[in-house]
Chains A and B, each alone.
Chain A
Amino acid sequence: MTADKKLLMTRRHFFGAGATGLGTAALASLLGKDLRAEAGLPGLPHFAPKAKRVIYLFQHGAPSQLDMFDYKPALKERRGLNLPESIRMGQRLTGMTAYQATFPTAPTIFKFDQHGKSGMWLSELVPRTAKVADDIVLIKSLHTEAINHDPAVTFFQTGFQIAGRPSIGSWISYGLGSENQELPAFVAMVSQGTGNAQALADRAWGSGFLETKYQGVKFRSAADPVLYLSNPTGYSRDARRRYLDDLAKLNELNAKDYQDPEISTRIAQYEMAFKMQASVPELTDLSTEPASTFELYGPDSRKPGSYAANCILARRLAERGVRFIQLFHRGWDQHNNLPKQIREQCMQTDQPSAALVQDLKQRGMLDDTLVVWGGEFGRTVYSQGTLTEDNYGRDHHPRCFSMWMAGGGLKGGVTYGETDEFSYNIAENPVTVHDLHATILHCLGIDHTRLTYKYQGRHFRLTDVHGQAIRDILA
């Protein structure tokens, strides 16, 4: 909703009923407050944004770069050989493999091929992603400081390993505000994979020290897509309308007495809630989608709550102007039986992820929507547990891993960064988590050094005191 419409709406509340003693100055200050909440910070965006919104497909548990994205043909020769100390360089390992006697090199069993005009190397696990190779930029040189899931996810989500800071989506809704009046600015969704799942904390979409209104609203596949959305059984929308009208009248009487702008804000929030009661079910009702949509996103997409269904929802949210949409798909933590597990995970995720890119593109939305795909770290080249002909496991590996991004101001068909021959260390163009954040913000027209919030005396940033947008991949 534009500022002007907002003014009108509020005006109706105050003047329409002819029942207000609120002075214009108070109204102005009330509006100022509201406008800031919805329109974001003054002065933002800092420069013309390429992307208006972000869809972040978080692959929770850490997908193996070696089996999907980071092609290392030479490893075949080294199969079963101990990882050379010259490569490991005494780097710390998790407690799960630190006591392992040997570190047998485990080349992937999956075939890689070149795809698209750029000849991007991708494995057979992601055939659909391969079809959109020319639309994506594959970054092979991400690295992180964390070695365990919870701190690593927290780092990706908040720019810091220890809990307490705002998530990326809440930073963005704080900075840029909302584009719409009927849905939250930041929506999170969780889906279940088939493999080993790790726990996911609410803080992943929390607002940390920012006000809680900036936190992500979790959409669920339950009867209530948003908590407490539905009226009690037997209570109709008409009844709720009448209820809210009377509630507003009573609240206005009190507002007249107390002059506290919070009361008017409360009235407006109840209106927003009422709108959400209609807009969210409409949004989450996929029955209006044509059959072609389900064909595009794959058979899973008819199952509510699946990753594929969430990808369709992500597109629908994007269409409705939701600023930051984040999917979390669990089950990538493949310490054992990786080949079987990753195959199943990819069956669930490859088609819908690629479909989302295609779908946005065919609707002309890929230009101003940034899609991000990736997990919290990578996986080791050496096998965790016994290496056999067709089976191996991989432990956590923070020193290099792959992600891909698409749309929203980025080049397509680009592979960025390189790792060593073991996919153990980064060989060129390292990208930190802060760099990734800076890049995402950059696409949204935000200078990451200037999106700050003062707390405990410090001007906090999503990127802490680090980070640089990756210029080479910007279109």
Chain B
Amino acid sequence: MTSPLPALLLAAIAVSYAAGPVTGPKEIEFNRDVRPILSDKCFLCHGPDAVAKKIPLRLDSEAAAKRAIVAGDPAASAVIRRITAEKPALRMPPLHSGLKLTEVEVQTISDWIKQGARWQKHWAFIPPVRKPLPQTNDRMWAKNGIDNFVLEQLERAGLKPSPEASRETLIRRVTLDLTGLPPTIAEIDAFLADKSPNAYEKVVDRLLASSRYGERMAVRWLDAARYADTNGYQFDGERNMWRWRDWVIDAFNRNQPFDQFTMEQIAGDLLPNSTTAQKIATGFNRNHRANTEDGIIPEEYAVEYVVDRVETMSAVFLGATLGCARCHNHKYDPFTQKNFYQMFAYFNNVPELGRAMKYGNSPPVVPAPTRDQQAKLDALIGRIDSERRLIENNASSIGSAQKTWESSLQTQSPEYWAPSGKLTGAFTLDESGTLSVAPGRFGKATVFDGKSFVDLGHVGSFDIEDRFTLSAWIYSDTKPDGSIISRMADNPKGKGYGIHTDNGKVHFNMTSVYADDAIRLETEDILTPKQWHHILVTYSGSRMASGVSVVVDGKPQPVKVLLDTLYRPFNNAGKPFVQSFRVGSGWGPERRFRGLIDNVQIYGRVLDTNEIAAMSVGLSVNAIAAKPAANRTEAEQRQLRWYFLEHAAAPEIRESWRRFVQLESEREALERSFPTVMVMAESPIPKDTFLLIRGAYDKHGEKVTPGLPEVLDPPSGGLLNNRLGLAKWLVDPNNPLTARVTVNRFWQMRFGAGLVKTTEDFGVQGDWPSHPDLLDWLATEFIRTKWDVKAMQRLIVTSATYRQQSKAAPELIQRDPDNRLLARGPRRRLPAEMVRDQALFSAGLLVEKIGGPSVKPYQPVGLWKEQNMQDGDYEPGTGEDLYRRSLYTFWKRTIPPPMMSNFDAAAREACVVRETRTNTPLQALNLMNDVTFTEAARFIAQRMMKEAGTDSSARLSHGFRLILGRAPVANELKLLQDNLAYHRDYFASDVDKAQSLLQEGATRADASLAPQELAAYASVASLMLNLDEAITIQ
């Protein structure tokens, strides 16, 4: 056969020349025609990094290139001599580069020199210029400014736009495009019936107002922001970033202007009086993968996280490949390696861990209550306040009643006060089995001889994310040494937690694996022998040493952190951690306590400072009451008041106090239940940033400060020294890139490809825009409308360009296979999430609920287990969880949902802004056999049989409309009828076959329908779901 290449090549040439005049000598434009050649074939050596490589000739700047280019005289130009040299040794590009110039490219460079070698700054680095709308011959077609630009180019190419798509095609196209779901039959009918001139615009406005719009828009943003539900890398444990995901949906739905949207995600935490929502927004920069593998070098990965932020930010907002300048100057674009590290510096000041938490979120995090939770919290606070007021309003009567009560105390036996909320264990140690007792700090205390210990059984079963407080009184004749209380395997390296004394210092540990998965710290000061000490430790559940507080005799202690890398829970990999709570033991037989221990108390919360101070008083309320009021300490006074309110105040006051305490503990529990989200924050002590030689984390070069590449003309002054400055600059109207890059991505969402096809690269290696003036017009329009995202969508989808039919004559397909000229409407396969969502929606199975934790729909058994660590297999959810929109599907980065991968979803390991579509046999198998689709097919069959009467034509047409949004034409209906007949026949012979097919999925088949008939319709419904048209926006 003959090669098909020439035909393709012709088509390509036709397109590239279409932008210029159709006939006559072509005027060469440097940016459009020449720079792409120089960049692709020459810049690798003669580009921005030439200096570093000590290559004298640079072709990326006009001044430098002069030495090899003589304007107007190609023959005298060294560039032409070298690229046309006969001798291979002289010829550029050199053979070893693997690069080659085509004849057309050589000719273009030569023509350009002949025409005067006029240079231009790279187009994307010049702020967009709004040109007047071009005049076109056809004055009727254009519906808005977009169309003038498109039509002008079509006319120059001698082409005509295609007619407007049919109403059925149009409403399905725009409904899927704006909401990610197909229109209902009722919506289609209403549109078909609406004869008003703005019927289409009304549909668009309805769709833009739908909350489905935010869900649709969010998906592509999640791809760009590499959002996922796990950490990635090896261990790939779960994290919780869904509150950020819900923030994104909400931002799109309330049409937050894109400049605000950007500012909050880049620097929401730095905005004045920033709200919780603005802090949540900064999760954008924490969505990167995080390594938790044992044995990694934390600094190495801390660098990777910052690199990821720079790469993501620059791809998403600037369409720049700054990451290429990590190890050396950029090979093509004017970004130096120093520029890269100056960008790096913006994101390098986060108090984060290089080795992230194995499970859950890694600091910094913020609590991120949902709307419901916030409302509950507000209500609780209101009730707490009213109890507090009740007590305050009665202060004087309470005071006098307390005085009376105090004087009555002298005659009563001593009573002690301790906080009561979440007290999970209190042991007086007045008697301890065979161990002897002696007079203690309170009544008696147990005597420990350095061998024996007390086993208190299963109390204090806290894990590393629990909050707790441990308290004990100790006395020792010598410098205290040995374990006080613990719940750990009884040896110094054992798993669990414990408070010990080590040569007089208080030592606390939480150990999962002694070597590198533990917190260990000790006090700096030494306990005094022959004296009672109150030892108290609180732990906030943060898994960080900073969440531990050691208090001795009421004074918080300065501590030395010995290890701060706690990651794994004690109850790990399904194996419960079983140890009893021991007094006087925990560091093994060698290190048991010698001395007295009294009153051990265990709380399932972090006591507040006032409570701790009151506890350390160590006096009975009677003793305090005996002191003259003026001599009492604040803590003593408070302790007395609390005891009074609990036990002796007037009944209504006691009741109010009881409620107050109860509500406070409810509040604590509620706050503990809040999801958190990882956010950006600034370290109080700024971290230095260095240029990293060859990009290596441990090879520091010069110190750098935050700053922007000179080529982008950043404003001067100190505004830019932090993320907030960066965020402001990103959305500054003079920024040449952000608006262009953003509207280009919107365009890609509606047309399958951007005006600049390389959505991720607007640099010199990126593609030349198909419609440069249109891109600039849209960018300036975006800024002019104050970054109104919905208005921009509306502008695009109401254009005549978008509304064209995507049917085309063969000549047009041949002329412009990729539809770069836009002489027809966009036709493209649905993105992965829509393939599934549409099937569920047509089936009536889709559960629409915005936001919340990610869910686990169907997935073949064993996929996780065969590649995972110890964490077991994927456990599919039940009920509603099986039928939520796909953007809520749990995304495990290392093993993504297979259906999503089959249909080209971004892997979410790194930022992806370009949409791709492939066409594979695995997609066919997926659509035909995945239970998601076979179950949906059954539901569609049920709808056909129950909603469309008894006539098979009507039923088939109904199913067809449910999926494709249009009725079948005659020969389609005939084929469907034939297929139905075949399947009726097929199942008629064997009811078991029908029953098996109907068993697909977690739901039961509608028992009111004959199984054989239902199975036949389900088979046809499956066929409809598998039509190319079904998974395509036509």
Question: B925 contacts A147, CB within 8 Å?
Answer: no
The reply to whether A272 and B921 contact each other, CB–CB distance below 8 Å, is yes
A259 contact set on B, CB distance < 8 A? 807-810, 813
Comparing B18-26, B545-553, B614-622, B860-868, the segment that makes contact with chain A is B860-868
With A234-B996, A239-B1019, A253-B971 known to touch, is A192 a contact of B331 (CB < 8 Å)? no
- The digit string for B983-997, where 1 denotes a CB below 8 A from any CB of A, is 100100010111111
Are B236 and A32 interface neighbours, CB within 8 A?
A: no
Does A229 sit within 8 A of B, measured CB to CB? Answer: yes
Point out which of B516, B904, B922 has the most chain A C-beta atoms below 10 A from its C-beta: B922
**C-alpha spacing A231/B996, complex, angstroms:** 11
Asked if B867 contacts A234 (CB within 8 A), the reply is: no
Main DSSP-derived SS at the B contact region: loop
Check A269 against B810 for contact (C-beta < 8 Å).
no
Residue in chain A with minimal CB distance to B861: A222
Q: Once the chains bind, are B295 and A96 in contact (CB under 8 Å)? A: yes
Given A95-B516, A259-B807, A458-B331; A242-B979 close (CB under 8 Å): yes
CB < 8 Å: which of A94, A162, A257 contacts B807?
A: A257
- Give Cα A50–Cα B907 distance, bound, in whole angstroms: 35
Complex contact B993–A246 (CB within 8 A): no
Contact A246 B979 (CB under 8 A): yes
- A273–B321 contact, CB under 8 A? no
Query: Which residues on B sit within 8 Å (CB–CB) of A266?
Result: 919, 924, 1028
CB <8 Å contact, B516 and A149? no
User: Could you tell me if A262 and B919 are in contact, using CB atoms closer than 8 angstroms?
Assistant: yes
Q: Does A121 contact B (CB under 8 A)?
A: no
Question: Smallest CB–CB gap between A104 and chain B, Å?
Answer: 16
Q: Which residues on B sit within 8 Å (CB–CB) of A213?
A: 918-920
Is the CB–CB distance between A163 and B929 below 8 Å? no
**Of B298, B761, B994, which contacts A456 at CB under 8 A?**
B761
Asked if B811 is at the interface of the complex by the 8 Å CB criterion, the answer is: yes
**Residues A23 and B811 in contact, CB atoms below 8 Å apart:** yes
Q: Are B901 and A212 in contact (CB under 8 A)?
A: yes
Question: Of A147, A258, A456, which is within 8 A of B827 by CB?
Answer: A258
Choice from A199, A211, A456, A457 contacting B867 with Cβ under 8 Å: A199
Q: Which of A203, A233, A251, A458 contacts B1028 (CB 8 A)?
A: A251
- Residues in B with CB closer than 8 Å to A29 are 4, 7-8, 11, 813-814, 817
Q: Is B999 an interface residue (CB 8 A)?
A: yes
A3, A201, A222: which contacts B894 (Cβ < 8 A)?
A201
Contacts of A99 in B (CB 8 A): 515-516
B136 within 8 A of A: no
User: What CA separation (Å) do A269 and B355 show in the bound complex?
Assistant: 44
Min distance, Cβ A400 to any Cβ of chain B, angstroms: 18
Q: Please tell me if the beta carbons of A198 and B234 are within 8 angstroms of each other in the complex.
A: yes
Contact of A220 with B922 in the complex, beta carbons under 8 Å: no
Distance in angstroms between the alpha carbons of A238 and B246 in the assembled complex: 47
User: Which residues of B (508-529) have their CB < 8 Å from a CB of A?
Assistant: 515-516
Interface centre among B331, B907, B919, B930, by most A CB within 10 Å? B919
Most buried by B among A22, A234, A253, A263: A234
Q: Chain A 77-92 against B: per-residue CB contact (8 Å), 1 yes, 0 no?
A: 0000000000000001
Closest to B96 in A: A449
CA of A230 to CA of B931, assembled, Å: 11
**Residues of B close to A453: CB separation below 8 A:** none
Q: How far is the CB of A275 from chain B (nearest CB, A)?
A: 8
- Residue among A3, A251, A262, A450 with most chain B CB within 10 A: A262
Is there contact, CB below 8 Å, between A202 and B829?
A: no
> CB-CB < 8 A to B761: which residues of A?
456-457
Contacts of A458 in B (CB 8 A): 321, 324, 331-332, 765
| Contact partner, A22, options B235, B324, B765, B810, Cβ 8 Å | B810
CB neighbours of A251 from chain B (8 A): 1027-1029
Q: Is A202's CB under 8 angstroms from B901's CB?
A: yes
Flag whether B689 is at the interface (Cβ < 8 A): no
Interface centre among B293, B764, B996, B1034 (most CB of A within 10 A): B293
| A190 at the B interface (CB under 8 A) | yes
Q: Are B809 and A199 in contact (CB under 8 A)?
A: no
Measured in the bound complex, the distance between the Cα atoms of B295 and A92 in whole Å is 11
Query: Which A residue sits closest to B1024, measured CB to CB?
Result: A250
Contact yes or no, B297 A92, CB < 8 A:
yes
Is there a chain A Cβ closer than 8 Å to B763's Cβ? yes
| Residues of chain B in range 539-581 having any CB-CB distance to chain A below 8 Å | none
A148 to B234, CA, bound (A): 9
| B807 and A457 form a contact (CB under 8 A) | no
Shortest distance between the CB of B417 and any CB in chain A (Å): 45
B256-310 contacts to A, CB under 8 A, are: 289, 291, 293-298, 304
Q: How large is the interface on B (under 10, 10 to 19, 20 to 34, 35 or more residues)?
A: 35 or more
With A222-B862, A259-B809 already in contact, the answer to whether A96 and B4 are too (CB < 8 A) is no
B895 interface neighbour in A3, A202, A232, Cβ under 8 Å: A202
Q: Contact between B810 and A227 (Cβ–Cβ < 8 Å)?
A: no
The answer, among B297, B924, B992, for a CB contact under 8 Å with A273, is B924
B972 surroundings in chain A (CB, below 8 A): 250, 253
Complex Cα–Cα for A97 and B995 (A): 59
> Which residues of chain A (385-438) have a CB below 8 Å from chain B?
395-396
Chain A nearest CB: distance from B314 CB in Å?
A: 10
- A278 on the interface (CB 8 Å rule)? no
Contact A26 B814 (CB under 8 A): yes
A472: interface (CB < 8 Å): no
Residues of chain A within 8 A (CB-CB) of B293 are 148-150
- B806 at interface by CB-CB < 8 Å: yes
Q: Inside 8 A of A253's CB, which chain B residues have their CB? A: 969, 971-972, 975
Q: B515: which of A96, A164, A450 is its contact (CB, 8 Å)?
A: A96
Interface residue from B11, B98, B233, B766 paired with A449 (Cβ < 8 Å): B98
Tell me the A215-255 residues at the B interface (CB within 8 Å).
215, 217, 220, 222, 224, 226-236, 239-240, 242-243, 246-247, 249-251, 253-255
Are A229 and B8 closer than 8 Å at their CB atoms? no
- Asked whether B910 lies within 8 Å of A164 as measured between CB atoms, the reply is yes
A149 with B910: CB separation less than 8 A: no
Contact B813 A261 (CB under 8 A): yes
Q: Are B324 and A148 in contact (CB under 8 A)?
A: no
A235-B997 in contact given A7-B1, A163-B232, A224-B860 (Cβ < 8 Å):
yes
**B898 sits at the interface (CB 8 A):** yes
Which A residue's beta carbon lies closest to that of B828?
A: A262
Give the distance in Å from the alpha carbon of A382 to the alpha carbon of B992 in the complex: 64
Contact B1027 A232 (CB under 8 A): no
Counting chain A CB atoms within 10 Å of each CB, the highest count among B516, B809, B861, B918 belongs to: B918
Kindly list chain A residues whose C-beta atoms are within 8 Å of the C-beta of B321: 456-458
Residue B333 at the chain A interface, CB threshold 8 Å: yes
Q: Does B77 contact A (CB under 8 A)?
A: no
Given contacts A249-B975, A457-B761, contact A201 B867 (CB under 8 A): yes
Residues of B within 8 A of A249 (CB): 975
13 A–B pairs (Cβ distance < 8 Å), ordered by A: A28-B8, A42-B5, A199-B234, A201-B236, A228-B928, A234-B992, A240-B928, A261-B817, A263-B1028, A456-B315, A457-B324, A457-B765, A458-B324
B residues lining the A interface (CB < 8 Å): 1, 3-5, 7-8, 11, 39, 96, 98, 232-236, 289, 291, 293-298, 304, 315, 321, 323-324, 331-333, 355, 515-516, 758, 760-761, 763-766, 806-811, 813-814, 817, 827, 829, 860-862, 866-869, 893-896, 898, 901-902, 904, 907, 909-910, 916, 918-926, 928-930, 934, 969, 971-972, 975-976, 978-979, 982-983, 986, 990, 992-997, 999-1000, 1015, 1019, 1022-1023, 1026-1029, 1032, 1034
Q: Which residues of A contact B (CB under 8 A)?
A: 3-4, 7, 21-23, 25-26, 28-29, 31-32, 35, 42, 92, 94-97, 99, 147-151, 162-164, 184, 190, 192, 197-203, 206, 211-213, 215, 217, 220, 222, 224, 226-236, 239-240, 242-243, 246-247, 249-251, 253-255, 257-263, 265-267, 269-270, 272-273, 276-277, 395-396, 447, 449-450, 452, 454-458
- Given A25-B811, A457-B763, 14 other A-B contacts at CB below 8 A? A31-B4, A32-B3, A148-B296, A200-B867, A206-B907, A212-B902, A226-B922, A228-B860, A233-B996, A234-B992, A235-B993, A254-B1028, A262-B1032, A269-B920
